[in-house]
Amino acid sequence: MMRVVLFLLPLALAAQTKVSIDNDRVRILTALDRPHQPTALHKHDSNRVMIYLDDGQQDISVPDAPVEHHQWKAGEVVWSPGGPQHVSENVGTADLHIVEIEIKQPGPSTPPARKRNLDPLAIDTSHNKLIFENDQVRVFRSTGEAGGREKWHEHAGAGRAVVLLSPLAARIESANGQISPMSGARGDSFWTPGYIKHRASNIGTKPYELVVIEVK
């Protein structure tokens, strides 16, 4: 069952929030939620994909409603619809880092067409696992062994965001013959607009894990 959550730190807490990508389709930011520092009452108008980088506990308080208590695991991914005003508080003992991908536009009336023989979720089920899908996004977890190379595959739709759950050193080969590096640390995010057909080679010495957010 897909888990949903209604909150994140308000952007007003600038010292605790870093925006890494902002375009017409998505805004991607990383929030640092410190223990026992409740936010101001606030709301979010955009739907979001939330990726938790740490284990943690959080309470969500909506006026005139019971407090929601959430216990997160590092690497957990949830859908957060725009919702009512609320206060969130990290009730654990350690900092909680969260990557948020705000989806700025509604889903298209016609979903993007996918070729089954190029769909990573169809052609490589051992390395790609669906987390959830709705009318705005398809979100899946992707892994790779040290020295491994992906099969040729495509990403359809408005674009795709990638959030690293582990360090990555890779080489990306596009269908047009272009080769480019892709590297980063845990929690780093990337954005590629529009359709793309490519494959990645892990040139690092350790396996990798990342989350792919395909925006429709």
DSSP string covering 109-136: SSPPP--GGG-HHHH-TTTEEEEEE-SS
Tokens standing for 176?
Answer: 């047009």
Q: Give pLDDT, residue 156.
A: 96
Instruction: With beta carbons less than 8 A apart as the criterion, state whether 40 and 8 touch.
Output: no
Residue 8 lies in a domain: no
Residue 138 lies in a domain: yes
Q: Give pLDDT, residue 44.
A: 87
Q: Give pLDDT, residue 7.
A: 46
What is the average per-residue pLDDT within 144-169?
A: 98
Do 158 and 186 fall within a single domain? yes
- Which tens digits make up the pLDDT trace of 18-66? 999 999 999 999 999 999 999 889 888 899 999 999 999 999 999 999 9
User: Is residue 186's pLDDT more than 80?
Assistant: yes
Please count the residues of the chain.
216
Residue 109 lies in a domain: no
Residues spanned by the domain of 44: 14-103
Q: Give pLDDT, residue 95.
A: 96
User: Is residue 1's pLDDT more than 80?
Assistant: no
Half-sphere exposure of 173 (CA within 13 A, CB side): 11
Residue 110 lies in a domain: no
Q: What CATH code is carried by the domain that includes residue 195?
A: 2.60.120.10
Do 99 and 125 fall within a single domain? no
Q: How many domains does the chain have?
A: 2
What is the average per-residue pLDDT within 197-209?
A: 98
> Residue 83: which pLDDT band, with cuts at 50, 70 and 90?
confident
CA distance 26 to 51: 15
Q: Give pLDDT, residue 3.
A: 53
Using CA of residue 2, residue 9, residue 106, residue 139, what is the dihedral sign?
negative
Do 145 and 87 fall within a single domain? no
Q: Comparing 82 with 5, which gets the higher pLDDT? A: 82
Q: Tokens 């897909």 appear where? A: 2
Do 97 and 22 fall within a single domain? yes
pTM (predicted TM-score): 0.91
Do 89 and 33 fall within a single domain? yes
Q: Tokens 């989806």 appear where? A: 103
- Which tens digits make up the pLDDT trace of 115-155? 999 999 999 999 999 999 999 999 999 999 999 999 999 99
> Residue 157: which pLDDT band, with cuts at 50, 70 and 90?
very high
The last residue of a domain, from among 72, 103, 134? 103
In whole numbers, what is the pLDDT of the chain averaged over residues? Answer: 93
> Residue 11: which pLDDT band, with cuts at 50, 70 and 90?
very low
> Residue 13: which pLDDT band, with cuts at 50, 70 and 90?
very low
In the chain, beta strands by DSSP E = 17-22, 26-33, 47-52, 56-61, 68-72, 77-80, 87-90, 96-103, 128-133, 137-144, 153-155, 159-164, 168-174, 179-184, 189-193, 196-202, 208-215
